[in-house]
Structure 1
Amino acid sequence: MKMIKKIGILVLLFGLFSCQEDDLTLDTIMVPADLSISSEISDDGSGLVEFNASATNALTYKFNFSDGSSAVAPNGNYTKRFTRTGLNTYLVTVVAYGQGGVSSSKSVEVEVRSDFSDPDTKEFLTGGNSKTWYVASAQAGHLGVGPSEAGAPDFYTPTYYTAAPFEKAGDELSSCFYTDEITFSESGENITYELNNNGFTFFNVDYAGEFGGSAGQDECLALDTSGEKSVTLAPASSGIPADASTQTEIQIGGGGFMSYYIGASNYEVLSITENTLYVRAVMGNNPALAWYVKFTTTPYAQQSAGGGAEEPEPEPFQTQFEDLAWSDEFDGDALDTSVWNYEIGNGTDGWGNNEVQYYKEENVTVQDGSLFITAKRESESGFDFTSGRITTQDNYEFTYGRIEARAKMPEGGGTWPAIWMLGANFDEVGWPETGEIDIMEWVGNNPGETSSALHYPGNSGGNAVVGRTEIANASTEFHTYTVEWTSENIILLLDGEEFFTFTNEASLPFNKDFFLIMNVAMGGGLGGEIADDFQESSMEVDYIRIYQ
């Protein structure tokens, strides 16, 4: 990034005050002197400015900006992103604090250009005037945590933990978390935030001790959050793909936060609609963790009573394919090997995903009208787990159609079942050139969510195009997983409701024959850590059908 030195620093004032204890002597009152401020301003429209303040006898520095935000920087270095669209002049006042509480200050003006604008997020957030948000306590995953590093698999999903609906209800938690009211208001170009926490805030265990708690568990503690704080909408820099984020970050000034205290004030907006808001923030004292919170415009009392504003029923999905072309209802007592192939072993590097299971024919069974693919903790050929994987390669391959599978997921952390497809020319061109359509992927470590993905050159592995949606009771109830595949679109549905649409193009590898695959992996890049108590569990498939 090219940086331009800001010239014409305007020195406005130099102040001195002291608030001393009686026993302080003159040699302990060291007035910060020779305060200087330099700035480097980006010229790429990002609005970024790097500030450096220095003074003799200074212990720390505070930056106050004319847009209403402020920041403390002990070493005097601070990078600020200004987001008011266009070329604007801002007043920046730096206060240098010395021993004994004395201070000196200096102000400069900076002229900054910002091209960033997200009117849609601004409109949804404030309603064009003022809007109040509440924790979406009735939704699965309203609170969650996962890895934050961009190099980690699925680093932008709460793979470590997701809260069940109303999990934090009871005791005092529902009153200090679920009843929070966060109001975003719009006034011209500016946005403000105010948190009404009813006097108490829900603190993460790592911060509870700092605010008078017992330090050892999440706690509700008294905290004054009154007063408006400035809000800036800025481009997000986490590296989350565009299909999983709005690419916009909410930056709350003055140490503001969104209901669950994790020492963070910047929240990336993963998704936002008229009535739903899903955000992600990196934990302040543990940057390896990212926390997730879902919000709604329905107050807690109405959520817990099952009431609230009713959302319109979605229009039924209109399929283009009505004629059943092929199906397997699994009505016999053995797998139909004229259609299905068994894949045996662990592939190369755990099938390319560092999976830890060894696939065996014996782990695939058909009984009572269902197919069972069973993962087990057992030793086989140097591996500690076994499972099953079957394909229709060379036996049944097709182009376009509606593919439906009705299935129950296995149970247990580390399980990773999938129903998916690969291009029929896989053996000739390899992966990802052949193309991959993941109809369903689910992981036992994140049971409240299911996902679908498309892999192709330029977008494969950790850079695949992914769609996600919430799911309840995936292991105890059958759900229908569907893909509608045409030359124009690839649409993914859960239980008949569309949650992800991908635009197909002639240049992509999704316009030729594909074959089916079903398997249950263990561990690996997406499956994650395997639960210590895992012994055995199955994916049960009632049927798989193809309409054309």
Structure 2
Amino acid sequence: MKAHLNKLILLLLLATGFTSCQVEDPELGPAPTEEQVKFSATPSSDNANIITFKNESGPVNRAVWDLGNGQTGAGDQITGTFPLSGDYVVTLTIYTSGGSASKTQTLKIAQTKPEMLDRPDYNFLTGGGSNIAGKTWVIEKDFPGHLGVGPASSSTPEWYTAGPNEKKDLGFYDDEMTFTLSNNLAYTYVNNGTTFANGANAAGLDGGGAGDDRTVAYTPPANMKWSISEEGGKQYLSISGGGFIAYYTGMSKYEILKLNETELYLKAADKANPANAWYLRLAPKGYTRPVVEKPLKTANLMDRFDATGTIPWRADAIVFKNNFDNPFPQGLYTVAKVGYYQRLPGEANQYGNLQTTLDYRLDLSSRNKFKMMVFFPGGNEYPAVKQQVAVKLQNSLAGGNAWQTQKEVIQQVPELNKWVELTFDFSSISSVTMYDQIVIQPGGEGHQTPGIFYLGLFELQ
């Protein structure tokens, strides 16, 4: 009977997978050797300077290429462009379950083909074939958004953009990046001894641990090359030898978002945080961007937050819901739908707000007062939550420093649990013409206490 019971228990354990933790992982395969790494190089039938490289090593987990011309990539097949004659050291690294191995071959390009160099992107980047010294680019420090960060899945720096000259004295603005058509597409990086590095990746340059962004002592390598490649319908600018452009994120390959005579806008991956992407805006050395002001306009600004308004609001570190059921359709405000504004807890959310950036500058000379309907529920944690609403006017062209340009008017909310009307008077700045951004902030700022508020009519009078 006991033996039968033991057998039954064993069968139950097997059925529930109890013994799965006792099964060892399969052994890794043997590490690949250099002899196993094989690849072919086949010139295009109509242009011997365009080469297709193919991994001939057999099945591998990953094949990574360095074509010796600044171009890198991954996959079993890659096409390289070599407009200049010379010897190029091509490296294929294969990865298997047992490890990795690399092999190099020297590719000889017999003839320079000038027609391959005469293309718009090359000419924009280098100044063209007649510009022997090449073209020097610098970070456009006076323009908002010259440095930014956002999600890797986006094409815009949604999380942060640097304001004009915000990163001064950090070893960033005096860097010069020169691209030439000569010397096999040479790239020169002059940083005057220091470089600005992303904190999570800075250890790759100074050996320290991860931390805040910092200035590091760094000497760029010599004999770097650049290349432009196309992958998946996108253009990429690559720097050879582990080189990079001005701000170190651990990567040497940049997606080209914009390239013309006066602008080079790049997106760089973040080696330490693959979910992030960094943005760099460069301009030719000595270039001054023309100032193009938004038109000055007296306009009808009105929103009832019931999905009929025309103000493009943007929620910043809050939860905002338009067309929300009015919690108290009585008294001064009986409409059915209003705006729901939720202030979030935590340090990262203590300056949350609702804002809009207009496509014109506000002319406040004749209309300079905002009327607003608000409802403050009694359940919020007052006085930690401020019983007030702030309306701020800002200049968006200041980028991350827009708050430094602002004019703020604060009104106290005299009663809870009922709709009240507030007026925000900006007549004292009626002659100021720089504001194109409006910020609404109920509940105060600089604290971490959450709260819920409702917004009704918002109107410029």
User: Structure 1's 356 and 180: CA in aligned 2 closer, same or farther, altered over 3 A?
Assistant: same
Instruction: Select 1:65's aligned residue among 55, 64, 67.
Output: 67
Residue 213 of structure 1 aligns to a residue in which SS? coil
Instruction: Select 2:55's aligned residue among 52, 63, 71.
Output: 52
User: Structure 1's 64 and 473: CA in aligned 2 closer, same or farther, altered over 3 A?
Assistant: closer
| Whole-Å separation in 1 of the counterparts to 2:46 and 2:449 | 53
CA contact under 8 A between 1:268 and 1:281: conserved in structure 2? yes
Say whether residues 1:280 and 2:287 are aligned partners: no
Say whether residues 1:131 and 2:132 are aligned partners: no
Query: How many equivalent pairs are there?
Result: 330
| Whole-Å separation in 1 of the counterparts to 2:356 and 2:294 | 28
Corresponding position of 2:214: 219
User: How far 1:236 sits from its partner (Å)?
Assistant: 5.5
| Whole-Å separation in 2 of the counterparts to 1:315 and 1:520 | 24
User: How far 1:296 sits from its partner (Å)?
Assistant: 2.6
Corresponding position of 1:193: 187
Comparing 155-164 with 274-283, greater Cα deviation is found at 274-283
Residue 145 of structure 1 aligns to a residue in which SS? strand
User: Structure 1's 532 and 157: CA in aligned 2 closer, same or farther, altered over 3 A?
Assistant: farther
User: Structure 1's 473 and 281: CA in aligned 2 closer, same or farther, altered over 3 A?
Assistant: same
User: How far 1:292 sits from its partner (Å)?
Assistant: 0.4
CA contact under 8 A between 2:229 and 2:236: conserved in structure 1? yes
User: Structure 1's 312 and 362: CA in aligned 2 closer, same or farther, altered over 3 A?
Assistant: farther
| Whole-Å separation in 2 of the counterparts to 1:289 and 1:96 | 26
User: Structure 1's 414 and 271: CA in aligned 2 closer, same or farther, altered over 3 A?
Assistant: farther
Instruction: Select 2:256's aligned residue among 269, 280, 296.
Output: 269
Residue 167 of structure 1 aligns to a residue in which SS? coil
CA contact under 8 A between 1:417 and 1:521: conserved in structure 2? no
Corresponding position of 2:279: 292
Corresponding position of 1:166: 165
User: How far 1:255 sits from its partner (Å)?
Assistant: 1.8
Map 1:283-322; keep pairs closer than 5 Å. 283-298=270-285, 310-311=288-289
Map 1:479-490; keep pairs closer than 5 Å. none
The superposition leaves residues 514-537 of structure 1 with CA deviations (integer Å, 9 ceiling, x where unpaired) of: xxxx99899xxxxxxxx9667679
| Whole-Å separation in 2 of the counterparts to 1:471 and 1:209 | 27
CA contact under 8 A between 1:344 and 1:360: conserved in structure 2? no
The superposition leaves residues 43-66 of structure 1 with CA deviations (integer Å, 9 ceiling, x where unpaired) of: 999x784532649xx9x9985636
| Whole-Å separation in 1 of the counterparts to 2:222 and 2:119 | 25
| Whole-Å separation in 1 of the counterparts to 2:195 and 2:210 | 15
Matched residue type, 1:122: Y
Matched residue type, 2:202: A
| Whole-Å separation in 2 of the counterparts to 1:95 and 1:109 | 16
User: Structure 1's 327 and 316: CA in aligned 2 closer, same or farther, altered over 3 A?
Assistant: closer
| Whole-Å separation in 1 of the counterparts to 2:355 and 2:215 | 36
| Whole-Å separation in 2 of the counterparts to 1:44 and 1:160 | 46
User: How far 1:316 sits from its partner (Å)?
Assistant: 10
Corresponding position of 1:248: 235
Instruction: Select 1:415's aligned residue among 345, 354, 374.
Output: 354
CA contact under 8 A between 1:199 and 1:223: conserved in structure 2? yes
CA contact under 8 A between 2:353 and 2:439: conserved in structure 1? no
The superposition leaves residues 199-240 of structure 1 with CA deviations (integer Å, 9 ceiling, x where unpaired) of: 332221122234312322222223321323221122364x7x
Corresponding position of 2:379: none
Matched residue type, 2:38: S
| Whole-Å separation in 2 of the counterparts to 1:40 and 1:264 | 29
CA contact under 8 A between 1:257 and 1:265: conserved in structure 2? yes
User: How far 1:286 sits from its partner (Å)?
Assistant: 2.8
Say whether residues 1:232 and 2:233 are aligned partners: no
Matched residue type, 2:155: Y
| Whole-Å separation in 1 of the counterparts to 2:450 and 2:108 | 62
| Whole-Å separation in 2 of the counterparts to 1:448 and 1:316 | 11
User: Structure 1's 359 and 315: CA in aligned 2 closer, same or farther, altered over 3 A?
Assistant: same
User: How far 1:258 sits from its partner (Å)?
Assistant: 0.7
Matched residue type, 1:33: E
Matched residue type, 1:225: P
Instruction: Select 1:473's aligned residue among 402, 418, 435.
Output: 402
Matched residue type, 2:402: N
The superposition leaves residues 226-284 of structure 1 with CA deviations (integer Å, 9 ceiling, x where unpaired) of: 323221122364x7xxxxxxx53212222221111112222222234433322111223
Instruction: Determine which structure has more spread, i.e. the larger CA radius of gyration.
Output: 2
Instruction: Select 2:39's aligned residue among 37, 40, 44.
Output: 37
Say whether residues 1:356 and 2:357 are aligned partners: no
The superposition leaves residues 361-396 of structure 1 with CA deviations (integer Å, 9 ceiling, x where unpaired) of: 999xx9xxxxxx987438xxxxx9xxxxxxxxxxxx
Residue 51 of structure 1 aligns to a residue in which SS? strand
Corresponding position of 1:259: 246
User: Structure 1's 274 and 80: CA in aligned 2 closer, same or farther, altered over 3 A?
Assistant: same
| Whole-Å separation in 2 of the counterparts to 1:83 and 1:537 | 59
* Structure 2 runs not aligned, ≥5 long: 1-31, 95-100, 333-337, 345-349, 360-393, 408-432
Corresponding position of 1:465: none
Matched residue type, 2:127: G
